[in-house]
């Protein structure tokens, strides 16, 4: 209840600006005649919660940016876990946020954090680029002069607050069940966004030819999303096992505490948290959503998790041999032909049985 009411406050704070702009908007857009209404498409997008659907319908421009942000999160997840048994995939229907894991594992924690951060990231950068109505560069920062350090805000500071708020409004709206998993997901969403916010960087530029840098303008920039990926991967490794506390009268999940610690110690804001142990992801399993590692590429010599022993969970591997042929040592002869040698290389590829 607490969460819900605070959300509606946020909505009412943010929306007035949106609608002021929308209603006074240009008449040009009206004249464009289109094939499909947003509501028809939004209705068919799989996996949207009702509130998300409403946002999709009223802001079809936003849903594109959200989709791109979520995709960026998914891609980053796949990159970070490209050598692991779990490669950021799951059984089930593809949604805006990828295939969702059923188990409240640390992998689920990672996907929630990275997609929430991805959405915040892409909304913020769309704002700076002017591709998103009713936001832009961070106006709070404009015109402010820092007397002590001798620089002023200038250029375009990324409006991360707007991006985070939008991500909160949209991504968190899919948590409609009242259970432990909801608390876990919300925490991880917030952790992803928090880490993104902490990684904002100040960039400055000096003006003038002389060395003293008297006039300096600075602006906030978004970090590269790859950096966020690496930090979240670290957080994944140190993810905290938590359990829910049902504190109120209705015995509904109220907050999370770290498991195995007697007193009520809550996890840190930027910790990734999970409530269930991960499956081993060796076999396909519809109960856990695991796709299994059958057919995955592995490295025969590596002792790590990308090595065939670990990756294939002892099932062994298939060896595929390829011969790669290409033209090499090409020479130009006067006039006019090119003569090349043929080079070839044999390569072996291993996939899990």
Residue from 87, 133, 299, 302 in contact with another protein (CB under 8 A): 133
Dist CA 157 CA 125 (whole Å) = 10
**259 in contact with another protein (CB under 8 A):** no
Two structure tokens written together for 67? 């989709």
Q: CB of residue 186 vs another protein: minimum separation in angstroms?
A: 14
**2 in contact with another protein (CB under 8 A):** no
**344 in contact with another protein (CB under 8 A):** no
Helix axes of 60-80 and 50-58: crossing angle, nearest 10 degrees: 120
**41 in contact with another protein (CB under 8 A):** yes
Q: CB of residue 339 vs another protein: minimum separation in angstroms?
A: 37
Phi and psi for 334 in degrees, rounded to 5? -80, 135
**237 in contact with another protein (CB under 8 A):** no
Residue from 23, 263, 344, 347 in contact with another protein (CB under 8 A): 23
Between 6 and 341, whose beta carbon lies closer to another protein?
A: 6
**258 in contact with another protein (CB under 8 A):** no
Phi and psi for 119 in degrees, rounded to 5? -65, -45
The piece of 9-17, 275-283, 286-294, 328-336 that touches another protein (CB under 8 A) is 9-17
The piece of 44-52, 185-193, 258-266, 267-275 that touches another protein (CB under 8 A) is 44-52
In 3D space, the residue among 104, 119, 244 whose CA is nearest the CA of residue 171 turns out to be: 119
Between 125 and 189, whose beta carbon lies closer to another protein?
A: 125
Q: CB of residue 286 vs another protein: minimum separation in angstroms?
A: 14
Dist CA 234 CA 353 (whole Å) = 30
Between 15 and 255, whose beta carbon lies closer to another protein?
A: 15
Dist CA 174 CA 104 (whole Å) = 15
3-state DSSP assignment of residue 221: strand
Between 44 and 333, whose beta carbon lies closer to another protein?
A: 44
The piece of 205-213, 239-247, 310-318, 345-353 that touches another protein (CB under 8 A) is 205-213
Between 9 and 261, whose beta carbon lies closer to another protein?
A: 9
Dihedral, 165, 166, 167, 173 alpha carbons, nearest 10: 100
Dist CA 172 CA 170 (whole Å) = 6
Of residues 285 through 314, those in contact with another protein by CB under 8 A are none
Of residues 59 through 78, those in contact with another protein by CB under 8 A are 59-61, 63-64, 66-68, 70-71
Of residues 100 through 129, those in contact with another protein by CB under 8 A are 125, 128-129
How many residues bind to another protein according to rule CB under 8 A? 88
- Report yes or no: 259 and 184 within 8 Å, Cβ to Cβ: no
The piece of 51-59, 191-199, 238-246, 345-353 that touches another protein (CB under 8 A) is 51-59
Dist CA 239 CA 233 (whole Å) = 9
**227 in contact with another protein (CB under 8 A):** no
Dist CA 172 CA 8 (whole Å) = 12
In 3D space, the residue among 44, 154, 116, 91 whose CA is nearest the CA of residue 281 turns out to be: 91
The piece of 56-64, 108-116, 231-239, 285-293 that touches another protein (CB under 8 A) is 56-64
Of residues 136 through 175, those in contact with another protein by CB under 8 A are 136-137, 142-143, 154-156, 174
- Report yes or no: 120 and 163 within 8 Å, Cβ to Cβ: yes
Q: CB of residue 83 vs another protein: minimum separation in angstroms?
A: 25
Phi and psi for 158 in degrees, rounded to 5? -65, 130
Phi and psi for 200 in degrees, rounded to 5? -60, 140
- Report yes or no: 176 and 18 within 8 Å, Cβ to Cβ: no
In 3D space, the residue among 20, 195, 23, 27 whose CA is nearest the CA of residue 109 turns out to be: 195
**199 in contact with another protein (CB under 8 A):** no
Between 51 and 233, whose beta carbon lies closer to another protein?
A: 51
């Amino acid at each position: 209840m607490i969460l819900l009411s605070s959300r509606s406050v946020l909505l009412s704070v943010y929306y007035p600006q949106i609608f002021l702009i929308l209603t006074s908007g240009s008449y040009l857009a009206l004249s464009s005649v289109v094939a499909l209404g947003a509501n028809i498409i939004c209705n068919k997008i799989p996996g949207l919660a009702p509130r998300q659907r409403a946002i999709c319908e009223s802001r079809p421009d936003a849903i594109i940016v959200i989709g791109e942000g979520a995709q960026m999160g998914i891609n980053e997840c796949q990159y970070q876990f490209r050598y692991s048994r779990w490669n950021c995939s799951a059984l089930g229907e593809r949604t805006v946020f990828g295939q969702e894991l059923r188990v409240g594992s640390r992998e689920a924690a990672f996907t929630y954090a990275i997609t929430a951060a991805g959405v915040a990231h892409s909304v913020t950068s769309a704002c700076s680029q002017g591709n998103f109505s009713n936001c832009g560069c961070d106006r709070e920062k404009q015109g402010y002069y820092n007397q002590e350090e001798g620089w002023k805000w200038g250029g375009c500071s990324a409006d991360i607050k707007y991006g985070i708020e939008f991500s909160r409004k949209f991504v968190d709206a899919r948590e409609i069940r009242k259970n432990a998993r909801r608390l876990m997901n919300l925490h991880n969403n917030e952790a992803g966004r928090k880490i993104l916010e902490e990684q904002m960087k100040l960039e400055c530029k000096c003006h003038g030819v002389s060395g003293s840098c008297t006039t300096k303008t600075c602006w906030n920039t978004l970090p590269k999303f790859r950096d966020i990926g690496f930090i979240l991967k670290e957080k994944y490794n140190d993810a905290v096992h938590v359990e829910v506390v049902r504190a109120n009268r209705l015995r509904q999940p109220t907050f999370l505490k770290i498991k195995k610690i007697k007193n009520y110690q809550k996890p840190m804001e930027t910790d990734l948290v999970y409530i269930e142990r991960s499956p081993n992801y060796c076999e396909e399993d519809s109960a856990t959503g695991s796709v299994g590692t059958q057919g995955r590429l592995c490295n025969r010599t590596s002792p790590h998790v990308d090595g065939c022993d670990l990756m294939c969970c002892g099932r062994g591997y298939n060896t595929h041999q390829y011969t790669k042929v290409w033209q090499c040592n090409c020479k130009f002869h006067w006039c006019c032909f090119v003569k090349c040698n043929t080079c070839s290389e044999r390569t072996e590829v291993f996939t899990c049985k």
